[in-house]
Amino acid sequence: MSGLSSTLSSTWAVQAKAGEPVAVVSVRNLQSIIYAGLDAWGRPHKGQPILISAAISFAQPFDAAAANDCLGADTVHYGSLSKAILEGIREWTIPVQGDYKPTAAEVLDDIWYHLTGKQTEASGGVLAGRIKEHRAPFLSAETKEGIRSLSVTITLPKASLLGSGVSLTATSVFGEPAPLSAVALLLDSLRVPTLVGVNSNERLAKQIVAVSITIEKLGWTSKDFYTELETLVVQTLEESEFETLEALGTHIADTIAVIYSCDSKTEPRGGQPWGRFWDIHVRMEKPTAVPLADCPIVEVRRMSNNS
């Protein structure tokens, strides 16, 4: 199965390999409505807003485009990029019939396919069986030779009950002997009343803690699980009696890893449980803890066994 997360790198590693960009064309928060993924209550087939961002980093400056003041092979037109992205999600902008439950990863994969002509590392080969019309990708072979990296993010801003939304990001570096890719899931800013703190007053009542969970090296899965992940994290926060964010964050990361490595209800890939290959990043903010600052922040990373 091509999408095993053991073949993926972290987003940080891919960005580090790509290096500092010298020229970038990007589109941020292109909007539409899709009938894919789960809504905040875990229901499929519900129309929900989607925001799509894409960034193309080039290996060389826009010398020809700048000198001639016209578009050429050393750049791409952001309007055409936007149209290609919207074409990639066209299938999901109408209600899905039957029992089929398209995932958010499939939406991301379709966009990537329309841009590059290839699937993401998280596809698991599922896209190939659905594609009936093979068309030329937006990025031609000539253009791709000058591209250093590509990143595409889809955000479902209404797919979380207590957070700011759910995002999936695919990133790849081009021009390397071996492909280097990353796929990450972000559950953004879950705001949950939590008992945590070392001061005596903090032991008397719960305070809001905003927790963001990033799952790196996310390989293919035939179902969305971000709503059940949110339930798990919220339950862990509600049961907290920790004094430090360091201990709480480590406990959250370990709980996620154990549940998705051992729970029989989760879906193994290639005989391996999900969590075994993941890098799990927990970011915690306490808005009321420091009066003269927006918030203190503590971050915890639990690296996968194959990191």
Q: Could you tell me if residue 307 is inside a domain? A: no
Q: Could you tell me if residue 22 is inside a domain? A: yes
Q: DSSP assignment of 134-155, as one string?
A: ----SS-HHHHTTEEEEEEEEE
pLDDT value of position 64? 85
Question: With 80 as the cut, is the pLDDT of residue 1 above it?
Answer: no
pLDDT value of position 130? 55
Task: Give the integer Cα–Cα distance in Å for 101 and 121.
Answer: 20
pLDDT tens per residue across span 72-100? 878 899 999 999 999 999 999 999 888 88
Strand order in the sheet with 48-58: 23-34, 48-58, 147-156, 165-173, 180-194, 207-216, 279-285, 297-302
Range of the domain at 75: 5-302
Answer yes or no: are the C-beta atoms of 45 and 33 closer than 8 Å: no
Q: What percent of the chain has pLDDT over 70?
A: 85
Torsion angles phi and psi, residue 74, rounded to 5: -90, 10
**How sure is the predictor about 275, in pLDDT bands with cuts at 50, 70 and 90?**
low
CATH assignment at residue 192:
3.30.1130.10
pLDDT value of position 306? 56
Task: Give the integer Cα–Cα distance in Å for 165 and 130.
Answer: 28
pLDDT tens per residue across span 237-246? 999 999 999 9
Question: Which class for 10: exposed (0-12), middle (13-18), buried (19 or more C-beta within 10 A)?
Answer: buried
pLDDT value of position 264? 43
Q: How many domains does the chain have?
A: 1
pLDDT tens per residue across span 146-194? 899 999 999 999 999 999 999 999 999 988 777 789 999 999 999 999 9
268 vs 157, higher pLDDT: 157
Kind plus residue range of the DSSP H or E element containing 64 = helix 63-68
Q: Could you tell me if residue 243 is inside a domain? A: yes
Question: With 80 as the cut, is the pLDDT of residue 141 above it?
Answer: no
The residue assigned the tokens 């430090």 is: 244
Question: With 50 as the cut, is the pLDDT of residue 2 above it?
Answer: no
**How sure is the predictor about 128, in pLDDT bands with cuts at 50, 70 and 90?**
very low
Q: Could you tell me if residue 274 is inside a domain? A: yes
Answer yes or no: are the C-beta atoms of 91 and 110 closer than 8 Å: yes
Q: Could you tell me if residue 30 is inside a domain? A: yes
